[in-house]
Every structure is written in C-alpha cells, then in structure tokens.
Structure 1
Amino acid sequence: MDGDGAADTAWLTGGADRTFGITTASGATSSLPIDSASPIAASAVVGTVSAVDGSDVTVALVDLGREARLLTFVDCAVTATTDSSGAPYVFDRGFTGQGTGVGCSDVDGENRLAGLLASQEGDGWTVTRTLIDLDDSGRLASNGTSEVVASGAGQDEPVVTTAQEVSCGDLVAGAGGLSEPAS
C-alpha cells in the first residue's frame, strides 16, 4: 500500500472506538477513527485506483451499512477524503436514493472509483455508474461523469449484484475483505 512492494496490513477494530488503520511492513502505523452510530459491523476493502491525473491512489472503502466512507492512504497516512465543501465524501448504500454501492471499474484501461446505483424499472434493473474524480493526493473527491451501464438486467446478473456492494477488484466488503471483529 505504501509503494515499496512489501506486504502491508489493513485492519479494523470494533466497538465504540471503531478504527480503520494500515500498518506497513516496516511497522509504521496510521489509523483513523470511524465515527458512526450504525449498529452494523463495519467491513472494508482496500484497492488502488487512478486519480484524474492518472496517478495511483490507495483507497479504503469502509462499509457501515447505510453508507460507505472513502479513505485514502497517502504519504503513509490514512486520511478521510472530502468533497469540495470539506465534508467527508461518503457513498449512499440505498437509504437516500443517491446510490446503492461503490466499486472499482476498468474504464479505458484505468481502474476508476465509481458510485453505483441499481434501480428496478418494470421487469428489469438499470445500473448507473458515476465515476469519482480524485485529485492526485486522494484527499479531494468529486462526482465525475455518469452513464447507464446496464438496462433491463436481471436481478441476479453480476452488474446488478455488484452495484449493491462495496467492492474493489475481487474483494467485497464483508465477504473476503476486512470485517470488524465481534465484540
């Protein structure tokens, strides 16, 4: 995660002091509290995505049930990514109608972060993908272009199920990614 090629470790703690952190192979540790009243156990995935300038940014997507928080690991520090107003950048998980999931999508040969919205329309599902524009530091995010990537899809098709998850690559939060330990 820190770019030196050695194995680093991402982790979550549970309970009232819920924390996400990364410990590098050299032993350096950086963490960030995850303030949330959600009673749902947190889970997370870590991946590398492209910023708008093409540079790579290590991101952590922390799923809290109703929302997913976007964190980055830059200069060996875990940082909460914000929007242009300085508020934490979060992904809706279906509770406010803005989205249903978040994932990493291959777009023109680049691994891009994307907010996803799966909506049922008649007998099928439509999936809309909104690319997330990250600055080169990963500290600032904004919504980029949106496009419909599937229409009339079946409920069990991968494009629909993925749009309702927090994932990056083959990792899905809570199913192979990190999970908050039981308290």
Structure 2
Amino acid sequence: GTAEELLYLLGIMLHDSNVQQHIPIVLTGPAQSAAYFTVIDDFIGQTLGAKAQALYTIIVDDAAAVGSYLYKQKAKIGAYRKAIGDAYGFNWALKIDADFQHPFVPNHTTMAELSLSFEQPAHQLAANLRRAFSGIVAGNIKAQSVADIQAKGPYILHGDERLAPLLDTLLKSFVEQGRMKLPGSVYTPCFQVTAP
C-alpha cells in the first residue's frame, strides 16, 4: 500500500502545474523499514528520476527528527501560500490530474493495458505505476480480484525492456521482505511482469 500512495503523491507533484508547490512528504518507520525505503527510493530514482526523489525525505527510526522536519516545512508552506494568495486550509492551486481522481478497477484486461513505459511524462508514468500497485494489492487481498486470479491466472503486466526488469526487481524484493503476504503464510504472486 505504501508504494501505491507514494506514487499517487509523486504523480501529482510531478505535474508541470505543480512545480512551485511545496508539500513535504516524509517516509518514516522503525529501523526495520530501512531496507524497504532503500529499494523504493532506488526504484523511484530509476523510473521517475532525481526530480521525484527530491520531493520526499526519508527519516528512519527518529520520530523527533520527523516532527522537527515537518515543523520547519510549515513556514515554507505558509510563505508559498501567502505569496500566491492561496488559502492555508485548502490548497486551491494544486493541480490534480484526472488520472488521479478516478479509482482504478483492476482486472486482467486493465492490468495488461497499463502503459508501463518511459515513453510518457513522469507524472503519467507515476499514475500507471500506481495503478499497477493498486491492482497487485487488490489481487492479494480483495475477494473479487483474488477470485478472478484463481479463475484466470495471475495479472500480466507488460513493461518496456527497461522498465519491466526494474518493476520485477522491486516486486520480488517486496516478496522477500514479506510485504506481500500475511505473516506465517506462503505467498503466491498474483502478477507476472513481462517485457517484449
């Protein structure tokens, strides 16, 4: 779920209309989350680039540092909103593309049709990666998706020759870290990543 939500936020922030926005994004958790943050940060860097990585901060196992960081960001947010005449309580200037305003309904067709290619703007790639992760989460836990996969086999994700291996590596690391299953159970992937 965390990767899906991070991709959602990054996709919004990567839109050209939001280049001046200042919205602090912090990835944080206990010490055992460090490996997860390392692989997700590496994946973001290789797929969406350094510009996307610059939109978030990773602070592991230090709640006080998170609080201090966010407190400092509050002044920057206030100054930006004041400079553009925007409200403090609602970010009217934030552009949320239509791709991020509608739920994604995963099935074998919609998952196979996702554009998982570098031949699109970064915010659209983030939207499609978010959809892929949303479908995988659904395939792991939602009754309709689980039944669909049991009947028709795993979802097939088609990525280009550069993106597919990156996605496959990330998803395999999630499996190895136990992020795809309930503790004590054996995970059977609900997806396959293919490249031409």
- TM exceeding 0.5: no
Bigger fraction of residues in strand: 1
What's the TM-score once normalised by structure 1's chain length?
A: 0.23
| Greater RCO, 1 or 2 (C-alpha within 8 Å, sep 6+) | 2
The structure that has the greater radius of gyration is: 2
Greater share of helix:
2
